[in-house]
Structure 1
Amino acid sequence: MRLATYNVEWFSNLFDRNGVMLEDGGWSARYNVTRADQLGSLGIVFTAMDADAVMIIEAPDNNRRHKTVAMLEAFAARYGLRTRKALLGYENETQQEIALLYDPDKLSAEHDPIGLPDEPVEGVSSPRFDSSYKIDLNIDATLDVVRFSKPPLEVAMTTAAGTKVRLIGVHVKSKAPHGAESEAQIKRLAIENRRKQLAQCIWLRERVLEHLRAKESLIVMGDFNDGPGIDEYEKLFGRSGVEIVLGWDEPHETRLFDPHARVAFGKKLAAMPATARFYLDDKGAYFSALLDYIMVSPDIRAKGPRWRIWHPFDDPGCYRVPELREALLTASDHFPVTVDVDL
């Protein structure tokens, strides 16, 4: 079985206000890319991946006028994808939903959130992801309230072979320091937002431990916007949100595993894998980063899964096919990550 995570930059802008696909010459939200070009490129990428399920980060917006599930299923039908069934969890207010697009012949999936409203109960469950989490962010003996702007998607998946797996789709993001007018304000807000991001990862880690204690197979996948070299504040906090969710320093039986994270965080002289590529106007150059992960529980790791970053330059298979290479560059500023595993 092949599972994927893919952040599709402003997927929502490829549909009109009524949810109709805009496969035309109008500009998409990507620089110098038309909506038809982006949609066609996405069709090529999804077809080439041939995944059984794709966790889509920044899926089309869900609101009163248009629905994420209907838009994704229309996209799948237009490009003849076998991942033709869509699933949405909690909708959010950012126009960037987290959704699963999957092949119903290979698996069944349902949104199955767990947790308790607001207040955690020790030894029972952490709060639901659409509620709030209380933690002392500033070490001032006062509990701060943390919320997800994009609540993770919790999926109960059953494969055609009858294997049950829990999936958690994640888009953790530290807000830019909007409203700051001085260097001191920018620094203060940046640190405050990074603290909130780490708190969200601590919350997510609690959920991971709950699943592992229940002996459930688990895959956490998505965009963490965090990792080596992301910003100048990473050393201030000692460890990243990615390391927190993985359980980096915890016993092996409670750790999640992602080989790209292992390279990036464990071997400082190794070539750094990358899943995203951004153009920096002030530098006149591209910046690459490792932001997207597929983390698996120990029992799934024992099955010998194989990971792949569909990078147009770093992956030989992608580079050798010009149509796919160009499609990956046109479709999004992130590249898909897949894992192949016997489930």
Structure 2
Amino acid sequence: MQIRLATWNIEHFNALFTADNQPTPPDPDKETRYRVTAQEQLDAVALVIQEIDPDILLVIEAPGTTTSGTRDTVTALKNFAADRNLRCSDAAIGFNSSGQQEIALMFDPAKVTVAHDPAGKPLAMTEAALRDLSTEERAQQLPLALDTLRGRKIDTAPRFDTVYPFDSEDDRLLEIYQFTRPPFEARIGLLDGGTEVFTFRMIGAHVKSKGVFDVSDELRDEIKDLSNRRRILAESQWIRDRVDEYLDDGEPVVVAGDFNDGPGLDFYERRFGRSGVELTAGVLGDPDRILRTQTLKPKWSGSSGWTPATASFYQRDTGKFLNALIDFILVSERIYRLADPASDPWRIWNPFRPRSAFEDQPELKAALKDASDHFPVTFDFEVSGSA
């Protein structure tokens, strides 16, 4: 049974739904992307999903769930799938984010089951109450964090909706970090004829952006870049801790999503030795525990950025587009062995490179350009009853 796993950050996806979860842009003629209207973008997103035809699609920047009101991520995505006759007709999310976007999974219910199954321990206090405490007081509310601060080894990393102690400044003092969008920790079951034949753990992540977005940021961009870089490393280490726990239990693991980071992506990475995605992937000294991905050795071109690239961003200071490798699907060795060794199981659906890739699919190429500033990444593998 062939399985296609995909991850895709869909820019402004939240703006393409009504308040009551209908896949109808409130202002269909308004430009949501450069020279692309909301309706054109929604049509492009649907066409791309139909063409790449995944069994499991991790959606980064999925429409948000509101704490008050009728907006609900799962309902919105299921309505979208029904309206466009998508095979990924069911949806699921994990912990809600504190913003307007969510991390969600769309999947084919005939072939896949998804359950939010977070590991780690919960906080004793609510997040709102936690924000009013000092760092030390916050750590005391989480026994795992307190054990680390006292120098004792912990058995499990904290749950992703809690806090994480990490020495990001290499000064032997632990800072406390929280995810803005807690990773979606799911148990995935694959069905063949209605029978579950293979299970694995999947962590869908949208790691902290280190981008500079406004004039105020630009005035202090170095400080902000370094701070965000430290946060990326802390969040990546937190995810890696959970990966190690799953591997220790003999469970196959997939980590996918937007890392807002990649090998050699910027100057500040040199201060820390490696990128967040490399931290998540593991170390060469322990090859059986490395998570494999499409590449960790992109090439730099001074005129256009990185090759390969999973995203293309307009740079205000240069007036040009910068290509970046920041979206990944990382798989443990057991899942990698299920892929076809004679072909590259990963594909980046980049409409710009290589130019020959979409010669026979001009409509898909145009849709990929219109749909988002990120491009889908897919990974193909095969399972059977003996997997």
Of 99-108 and 12-21, the range deviating more from structure 2? 12-21
Tell me if structure 1 keeps the 8 A contact 2:212–2:218.
Answer: no
Report the CA distance shift for 1:314/1:185 in structure 2 as closer, same or farther (over 3 A): closer
Q: 2:376 matched to 1:336?
A: yes
Root mean square deviation, CA, Å: 2.1
Gaps of 5+ in 2: 123-141, 148-152, 300-305
Tell me, in whole angstroms, the C-alpha distance in 2 between the residues paired with 1:115 and 1:5. 25
Report the CA distance shift for 1:248/1:179 in structure 2 as closer, same or farther (over 3 A): same
Q: Percent of counterpart pairs with the same letter? A: 40
Query: 1:54 is matched with which residue?
Result: 57
Q: 2:313 matched to 1:313?
A: no
| Shift, 1:217, TM fit | 0.8
How many pairs does the alignment contain? 337
Query: 2:257 is matched with which residue?
Result: 222
Larger radius of gyration between Structure 1 and Structure 2:
2
Secondary structure, counterpart of 1:227 in structure 2: coil
TM-score, normalised to structure 2's length?
Answer: 0.82
Tell me, in whole angstroms, the C-alpha distance in 2 between the residues paired with 1:308 and 1:152. 23
1:155-184 superposed Cα distances (whole Å, 9 cap, x missing partner): 101101420111110100234467985978
Among residues 283, 288, 293, which one is paired with 1:258 in the alignment?
293
1:52-103 superposed Cα distances (whole Å, 9 cap, x missing partner): 0100000001113200001001111111001000001111122120000000
Tell me if structure 2 keeps the 8 A contact 1:228–1:264.
Answer: yes
Q: Report 1:1-343 matches (<5 A).
A: 1-23=3-25, 25-63=28-66, 64-65=68-69, 66-117=71-122, 118-120=142-144, 122=153, 124-161=155-192, 162-176=197-211, 185-261=220-296, 263-264=297-298, 272-305=307-340, 306-315=345-354, 316-343=356-383
Report the CA distance shift for 1:181/1:164 in structure 2 as closer, same or farther (over 3 A): closer
Tell me, in whole angstroms, the C-alpha distance in 2 between the residues paired with 1:277 and 1:259. 18
Of 233-242 and 25-34, the range deviating more from structure 2? 25-34
Name the aligned partner's letter for residue 158 of structure 2.
P
| Shift, 1:193, TM fit | 1.7
| Shift, 1:260, TM fit | 2.0
Tell me if structure 2 keeps the 8 A contact 1:311–1:318.
Answer: no
Tell me, in whole angstroms, the C-alpha distance in 1 between the residues paired with 2:277 and 2:249. 22
Tell me, in whole angstroms, the C-alpha distance in 1 between the residues paired with 2:373 and 2:57. 17
Tell me if structure 2 keeps the 8 A contact 1:197–1:241.
Answer: yes
Name the aligned partner's letter for residue 98 of structure 2.
E
Tell me, in whole angstroms, the C-alpha distance in 2 between the residues paired with 1:319 and 1:168. 34
TM-score, normalised to structure 1's length?
Answer: 0.92
| Shift, 1:33, TM fit | 1.4
Report the CA distance shift for 1:182/1:329 in structure 2 as closer, same or farther (over 3 A): closer
